[in-house]
Amino acid sequence: MMNPEVGIAPETRQRLQVRIEGTVQGVGFRPFIYRLAAERRLLGWVNNDLQGVTIEVEGPRERLDSFLLGIETEKPELAAIHSLESLYLDPVGYESFEIRKSDANKGSAAAFILPDIATCEDCLREVFDPQDRRYLYPFTNCTNCGPRFSIIRGLPYDRPLTTMGGFVMCDRCREEYEDPRDRRFHAQPNACPACGPQLALWDAQGRILAEHEAALQEAIAAIRQGGIVGMKGLGGFHLVADARSEAVVRLLRERKHREQKPLALMYPDLEQIARECEVAPLEARLLRSGQAPIVLLKRKSGHSPIAPSVAPGNPYLGIMLPYTPLHHLLLAGLGFPIVATSGNVSDEPICTDEHEALERLAGIADVLLVHNRPIERHMDDSVARIVAGRELVLRRARGYAPLPVRLDESAPPVIALGAHLKNNVALAVGKSVFVSQHVGDLETEPALRAFRRVAGDLPRLYEAKPEAVACDAHPDYSSSQHARAMGLPVIPVQHHVAHVLSVMAENALQDPVVGFSWDGAGFGLDGTTWGGETLLVDGEITRVAHLRTFMLPGGDKAAHEPRRSALSLLYEVFGETAFERHDLAVLTAFGGAELRTLRSMMQRGLNCPRTCSAGRLFDGVAALLGLDEVGGFEGKAAMALEFALGDIETDEAYEFRLGEGGPLVVDWEPMVLAVLRDLEAGLSPGIISARFHNGLVETLVGVARHFGHEQIALSGGCFQNKYLLERAVARLEFDGFRPYWHQRVPPNDGGISLGQIAYAARTWR
DSSP string across 497-527: HHHHHHHHHHTT--S-EEEEEEEEEEE-TTS
Q: Is a pLDDT exceeding 60 seen at residue 367?
A: yes
Instruction: Sheet containing 367-371: give its strands across.
Output: 208-211, 199-202, 367-371, 229-232, 237-242, 338-342, 265-266, 316-320, 294-298, 383-387, 390-395
Cα distances (Å, whole numbers) of residue 74 to 70, 270, 279, 465 = 5, 20, 21, 43
Residue 650 carries which DSSP code? -
* Count of CB atoms situated within 10 Å of the CB of 748: 23
Whether the pTM exceeds 0.95: the reply is no
Q: What is the mean pLDDT of the chain?
A: 93
Residues 6+ apart with CB under 8 A from 198: 211, 212, 371, 372
For the chain, give the number of residues. Answer: 765
Of residues 764 and 530, more confidently modeled: 530
Please write the tens of the pLDDT for every residue from 5-46: 434 455 578 999 999 887 777 667 888 899 899 999 999 999
pLDDT digits (tens, 9 = 90+) for 572-613: 999 999 988 877 888 888 888 999 999 999 999 999 999 999
Q: Which of 107-111, 139-143, 631-635 has the weakest average pLDDT? A: 107-111
pLDDT at 1 over 70: no
d(CA 342, CA 389): 29
Long-range CB contacts (< 8 A, 24+ apart) of 103-109? 103/47, 103/48, 103/49, 103/50, 104/49, 104/50, 105/50, 106/49, 106/50, 106/51, 107/49, 107/50, 107/51, 107/432, 108/50, 109/50, 109/51
User: What confidence category does residue 441 fall into, taking pLDDT thresholds of 50, 70 and 90?
Assistant: very high
**How close are the terminal C-alpha atoms of the chain, in Å?**
43
d(CA 560, CA 291): 33
Pairing type for strands 383-387 and 414-416 reads unpaired
Kindly tell me the burial class for residue 109, based on how many C-beta atoms sit within 10 Å of its own C-beta (0-12, 13-18, 19 or more).
exposed
Please report the DSSP string for 404-451 in residue order: EEEPSSPPPSEEE---SSSB--EEEETTEEEEPPP-B---SHHHHHHH
pLDDT of residue 11: 58
Structure confidence at residue 104 as a pLDDT band (50, 70, 90) = low
Gyration radius of the chain's alpha carbons: 26
pLDDT of the residue at 631: 66
pLDDT, mean of residues 208-236: 98
Query: By percentage, how much of the chain surpasses pLDDT 90?
Result: 81
Of 166 and 588, more confident: 166
Give pLDDT tens digits for 310-348: 999 999 999 999 999 999 999 999 999 999 999 998 878
Looking at residue 26, its pLDDT comes to 66
Q: What distance in Å separates the CA atoms of residue 370 and residue 233, rounded to the nearest whole number? A: 8
Predicted confidence (pLDDT) per residue in 260-273, tens digit: 899 999 999 999 99
pLDDT tens for residues 454-506?
999 999 998 899 999 999 999 999 999 999 999 999 999 999 999 999 999 99
* Residue 552 · residue 564 · CB < 8 Å: yes
